[in-house]
């Protein structure tokens, strides 16, 4: 009887883990889509198309926002340090796209310290010198463009794609006060 209970328990845990792993892998996959072919000129002998690659979400890792003293800001327990998400230096996120392009670089702004109580505040949990760092989760979208031509009534193969545009959507931001 005990072995039956253990077996049932094992199967229950296994089914939960399997569902979680399979469900997670589907969510994290990159997606690639191709647009239809569009005429590039009035002759109808040149076409282009777009390849849109939506990457899985990626984290930038903790990076300090700009405008902070070298040794940090002294805060007491409960004090807040405020920041603005716009401005400051950019973190260069490298995104692999394939198609003989390799990777594309996206500039993610790290933000800057705000004066006074303007912006988003992060509360200190003890006294000491702190620096504010942000870890941003972004979802990159890269759009490539390809061309082809018609010769003797037949379309050529699509040429090598090139980067047409790149953008990202901020999914989540995790600010952190790091004790110096």
* String of DSSP letters for 41-95: STTS-EEEEEEEEEPPPEE---EEPBS--TT-EEE-TT-EEEEESSSSPEEEEEE
CA distance 139 to 60: 11
Average pLDDT over residues 35-40: 87
What does the domain layout of the chain look like in residue ranges?
Answer: 2-179
Quick one: pLDDT at residue 55? 94
Residue scoring higher pLDDT (30 or 47): 47
Looking at the whole model, is its pTM more than 0.75? no
Residue 147, pLDDT > 80, answer yes
Quick one: pLDDT at residue 3? 53
* Tens digit of each residue's pLDDT (9 = 90 or more) over 49-89: 999 999 999 999 999 999 999 999 999 999 989 898 877 88
CB count within 10 Å of CB 37 equals: 14
CA distance 146 to 161: 5
Share of the chain above pLDDT 70, in %: 83
Average pLDDT over residues 139-164: 94
Quick one: pLDDT at residue 28? 57
């Amino acid at each position: 009887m005990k072995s039956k209970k253990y077996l049932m328990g094992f199967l229950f845990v296994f089914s939960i883990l399997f569902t979680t792993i399979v469900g997670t892998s589907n969510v994290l996959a990159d997606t690639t889509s191709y647009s239809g072919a569009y005429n590039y000129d009035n002759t109808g002998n040149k076409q282009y198309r777009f390849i849109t690659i939506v990457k899985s979400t990626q984290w930038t890792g903790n990076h300090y926002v700009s405008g902070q003293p070298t040794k940090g800001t002294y805060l007491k327990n409960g004090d807040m340090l405020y920041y603005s998400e716009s401005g400051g230096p950019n973190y260069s996120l490298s995104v692999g796209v394939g198609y003989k392009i390799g990777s594309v670089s996206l500039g993610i702004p790290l933000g800057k310290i705000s004066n006074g109580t303007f912006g988003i505040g992060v509360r200190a949990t003890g006294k000491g010198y702190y620096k504010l760092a942000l870890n941003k989760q972004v979802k990159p979208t890269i759009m490539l463009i390809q061309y082809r031509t018609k010769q003797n009534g037949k379309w050529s193969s699509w040429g090598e794609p090139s980067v047409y545009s790149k953008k990202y959507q901020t999914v989540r931001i995790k600010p952190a006060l790091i004790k110096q």
